[in-house]
């Protein structure tokens, strides 16, 4: 039982707080369980999210006991390559912040430079302010945030959007959390050029690339959600595909795997249609075979310059 000190019935300040009970009652435990269930890998990211949730839970407890007077800085930076789960984790973080009472609504507004920056004088401010209005009470997720800053273009209006964002991040941090996302090296240069952002970001979380085995599991899970499956030879084909695709340009982790499986389903549908000689059962309609994957251009032999064949 939690003891309390009552001030003439005007309000009760708890003398102790059961953090475990608060954790379970808030529903944050369920959100973190969903994160573990829905996202394969990303162990360091999940660890940082759990640590951040613990910090916020303690801060909320301190506030309930009159020990905290200011809302902690919650703005964040998510860095990593495309397809590493940054947007998904941002959605879960918005849910956690809402359940712990740090934001009113818990929704996430995801934008890029084009949503914030105008193309002529007087266009940027209303665009940026409209996005901020939609995001208030929740989380604003700015993907590839470094594109806001283009010093090589004297007529670029990104700086105006940056100045508005910085002002709101400072003055209305009780009602808005901003998450900046993008490649690690580019985000570092962006922070060097815009120290106002760095000073307002409290939590930096780096998203590692998935391993080949993690990508295989992600692909199989994607198919399972759509009631498809890989046969044994197709599993081996997808494993080979991942190893080859990683070495090619524009690899985007889970995003590339999703695209590959979409194309495999297309090939499967055409194979079934062209070869159909009678009724098909549910298993045949739901099975991706090795040929559906190995028909990808990723498996095409690389053309070598003259004299280098062998």
Residue 21 lies in a domain: yes
Name the DSSP letter for residue 139.
E
CA distance 64 to 41: 35
Residue-by-residue pLDDT tens, the chain, 310 positions? 344 434 444 457 878 888 899 889 999 999 999 999 989 999 999 999 999 999 999 998 888 888 866 778 899 999 999 999 999 999 999 999 999 999 999 999 999 999 999 888 889 999 999 999 999 999 999 999 999 988 777 778 899 999 999 999 999 988 999 999 999 999 999 999 999 999 999 999 999 999 999 999 999 999 999 999 999 999 999 999 999 999 999 999 999 999 999 999 999 999 999 988 889 999 999 999 999 999 999 998 765 454 433 3
Give residue 276's pLDDT.
81
Give residue 7's pLDDT.
44
Give residue 11's pLDDT.
59
Q: Indicate whether 232 and 165 sit together in one domain.
A: no
How many distinct structural domains can be found in the chain? 2
Give residue 310's pLDDT.
37
CA distance 113 to 101: 29
Q: Indicate whether 159 and 290 sit together in one domain.
A: no
Domain end call among 164, 192, 207? 207
CA 7 to chain centre: 45
Residue 8 lies in a domain: no
Q: Is 244 helix (H, G, I), strand (E, B) or coil?
A: helix
Residue 229 lies in a domain: yes
CA distance 3 to 1: 6
Q: Indicate whether 233 and 91 sit together in one domain.
A: no
Pull the structure tokens for residue 139.
């989380």
Residue 151, phi then psi, degrees to nearest 5:
-65, -20
Range of the domain at 107: 15-207
Tell me the torsion sign for CA atoms 236, 238, 241, 243. negative
Give residue 65's pLDDT.
87
Residue 3 lies in a domain: no
Give residue 4's pLDDT.
41
- CATH number at 225 reads 1.10.8.60
Q: Indicate whether 256 and 118 sit together in one domain.
A: no
Q: Indicate whether 57 and 196 sit together in one domain.
A: yes
CA distance 22 to 103: 17
Tell me if 102 sits within 8 A of 173, measured CB to CB.
no
Residue 241 lies in a domain: yes
Q: Indicate whether 203 and 245 sit together in one domain.
A: no
CA distance 265 to 292: 7
Q: Indicate whether 295 and 149 sit together in one domain.
A: no
Burial of 132 (0-12, 13-18, 19+ CB in 10 A): buried
**E strand intervals along 65-223:** 76-80, 108-111, 139-143, 177-182, 203-207
For the chain, counts of helices (H) and of strands (E): 14, 9
Give residue 301's pLDDT.
79
Give residue 303's pLDDT.
55
Residue 34 CB neighbours (<10 A) = 12
Per DSSP, what are the bridge partners of residue 180? 77, 142
Give residue 309's pLDDT.
36
Q: Indicate whether 262 and 248 sit together in one domain.
A: yes
């Amino acid at each position: 039982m939690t003891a309390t000190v009552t001030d003439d019935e005007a309000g009760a300040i708890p003398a102790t707080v059961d953090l475990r009970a608060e954790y379970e009652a808030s529903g944050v435990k369920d959100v973190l369980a969903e994160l573990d269930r829905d996202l394969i890998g990303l162990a360091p990211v999940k660890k940082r999210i759990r640590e951040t949730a613990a910090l916020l839970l303690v801060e909320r407890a301190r506030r309930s006991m009159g020990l905290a007077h200011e809302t902690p800085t919650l703005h964040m930076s998510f860095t990593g390559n495309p397809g590493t789960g940054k947007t998904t984790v941002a959605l879960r973080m918005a849910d956690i912040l809402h359940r712990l009472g740090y934001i009113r609504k818990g929704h996430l507004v995801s934008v890029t430079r084009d949503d914030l920056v105008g193309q002529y004088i007087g266009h940027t401010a209303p665009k940026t302010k409209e996005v901020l209005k939609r995001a208030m009470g929740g989380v604003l997720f700015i993907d590839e945030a470094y594109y806001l800053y283009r010093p090589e273009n004297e007529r670029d209006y990104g700086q105006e959007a940056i100045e508005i964002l910085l002002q709101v991040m400072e003055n209305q941090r009780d009602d808005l959390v901003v998450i900046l996302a993008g490649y690690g090296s580019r985000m570092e240069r962006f922070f060097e050029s815009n120290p106002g952002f760095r000073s307002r970001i409290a939590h930096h979380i780096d998203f590692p690339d998935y391993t080949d085995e993690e990508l295989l599991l992600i692909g199989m899970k994607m198919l399972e959600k759509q009631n498809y499956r890989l046969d044994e030879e197709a599993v081996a084909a997808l494993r080979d595909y991942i190893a080859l695709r990683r070495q090619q340009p524009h690899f985007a982790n889970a995003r590339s795997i999703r695209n590959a499986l979409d194309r495999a389903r297309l090939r499967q549908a055409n194979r079934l249609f062209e070869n159909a000689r009678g009724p098909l059962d549910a298993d045949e309609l739901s099975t991706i075979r090795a040929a559906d994957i190995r028909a990808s251009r990723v498996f095409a032999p690389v053309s070598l310059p003259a004299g280098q064949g062998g």
